Amino acid sequence: MPTAYPTTLDTSAEQPSPSATTDLDGPGYEHDIVHTSHSGAIIAIETKLGSTDSNAVADTVLGGTGASTSAWTGSPTLSGTVTATTFIGAVTGNITGNVTGDLTGNVTGN
């Protein structure tokens, strides 16, 4: 069965794991189909993550940098709702809505 990712997460039905004694011609475990399913899932993950030749380093996140590209960054630009237990470092830009918790440091703006 082909991969369902990235529309939905695959289950063991889409990604069967044959054991050492599984008949690789048995229903749901056909050798070529298992490899095709795995290959499809790997390609879907690569497509979702994009291409990059950089490796992760401490205190970075993988962010989208364009169509089908990504890079590790220590200062991501985000839009929409951002929720975190603690923000460390500078928070810049416009903040709208309710701010709860403790604020320390300099707060400027209107």
- 103 occurs within a structural domain: no
pLDDT in tens, 68-94: 777 888 888 777 777 778 878 777 777
Total number of domains in the chain? 2
- pTM exceeding 0.85: no
- Preceding amide of 18 cis, omega within 30: no
- 23 occurs within a structural domain: yes
Beta strand spans in the chain (E): 61-66, 69-73
- 100 occurs within a structural domain: no
Q: Within a 10 A sphere around the Cβ of 15, how many other Cβ atoms?
A: 17
- 34 occurs within a structural domain: yes
57 and 45 inside one domain:
no
pLDDT in tens, 1-51: 678 877 788 888 888 889 999 999 999 889 998 899 899 899 888 877 777
